[in-house]
Structure 1
């Protein structure tokens, strides 16, 4: 399995006052949706489990919302976004496409959850530190949806403890690769994720997200 952190393609920045970290976050969110939207749509169509199909359909629809928010911010700032996902992300999509039945369900749920779990930390950092109003708005939308999607994917009952986040392997001469990993309680990501929950609760209503997922859980088969 490969790194969840999207490799930022070369993106030309027209605006002169765009922070590199802001640009990187917009590119990463854009590429995240570029692979997850079609892959979620495929899982919605071909998944075996009814719960997986329902969750995947919801994620596909909401990635269109995320893409719109990111595009709006990028347009305001003069950032040209990539038109396709990274090579790594394409490999994730191909892994789902080449699967079927229960294996497709498991592959989709775990890959999507690991990718979300890795990206949410970076988006939270951008949300907390950016001085750009358009970037802040896009990051808030990203945070809200990423946390919601993590909960929804977990509600399928298929997400493994080893698929909560993807971590990079030590640098080598070859392209980087990684495996899903569960950070321990002392990991900086855990502390930051705790702060993320508080941030979303204040800015976007985390209680609504929990209730929404709880409602889905009542109808789980």
Structure 2
């Protein structure tokens, strides 16, 4: 129990650090953000090569994935019935903490501002899971996370295949390893259905 509380504090410290970094980037640097009136966002030149709108979207999507999956993994420790679901949730939480630090460091180098909260849909998933416990929680946790990982996996793979930015390509490779591991872990619970794979 003490170990779990320690992780919760670490998670809060990471979130506070992320907010501070985002504030510093806003104050000190011009973000590599889409130009006004240009829905595609244009291309920003960096020392690692051109940074496209899609490259920036990758950083945002991976950041947002962590912002809801870290709390979901922590929540699984209290709400899940299956020891395997608890173990998978713990591993996903810990690995997302590592990936989140990597995402923030990469974004800082490229001067990209990241969100500090999950998307509206991700918040809805967290709220849905917060209303469940036991076997019902296990199923919802696994299905929501597996479906979300499948979606972000395709975004990462597309960027890895097409980005002209060497820093983004290297980041995408690292992110792919994490996401692939998470899909395998979630599938190992035996709760993944065909609908989660679509």
Structure 2 counterpart of 1:61? 94
For residue 153 of structure 2, the aligned residue among 78, 101, 120 is 120
Segments of structure 2 that go 5 or more residues without pairing to the other structure are 1-25, 33-43, 46-50
Does the 8 Å CA contact 1:29/1:70 hold for their aligned counterparts?
yes
Structure 2 counterpart of 1:95? 128
Superposed, 1:33-182 pairs within 5 Å as 33-164=66-197, 182=198
Does the 8 Å CA contact 1:47/1:102 hold for their aligned counterparts?
yes
- 2-side partners of 1:44 and 1:159: how far apart? 19
- 2-side partners of 1:24 and 1:115: how far apart? 16
The CA deviation string for residues 61-84 of structure 1, in whole angstroms up to 9 with x for no partner, is 000111111111100000010000
Structure 1 counterpart of 2:36? none
More helix by share: 2
Structure 2 counterpart of 1:14? 31
How much is the aligned-residue C-alpha RMSD, in angstroms? 1.3
Deviates more, 1:132-141 or 1:33-42: 132-141
Instruction: Give the structure-2-normalised TM-score.
Output: 0.75
The CA deviation string for residues 21-62 of structure 1, in whole angstroms up to 9 with x for no partner, is 100110001001101111111112321000000010000000
Structure 2 counterpart of 1:194? none
Does the 8 Å CA contact 1:33/1:64 hold for their aligned counterparts?
yes
Does the 8 Å CA contact 1:31/1:85 hold for their aligned counterparts?
yes
- 2-side partners of 1:141 and 1:37: how far apart? 18
Instruction: Give the structure-1-normalised TM-score.
Output: 0.67
Segments of structure 1 that go 5 or more residues without pairing to the other structure are 1-11, 165-181, 183-221
Structure 1 counterpart of 2:11? none
- 1-side partners of 2:105 and 2:170: how far apart? 10
- 2-side partners of 1:71 and 1:136: how far apart? 15
Runs (4 or more) in structure 1 with deviation over 6 Å come to none
Deviation at 1:88, TM superposition (A): 0.7
Structure 2 counterpart of 1:216? none
Deviation at 1:147, TM superposition (A): 0.6
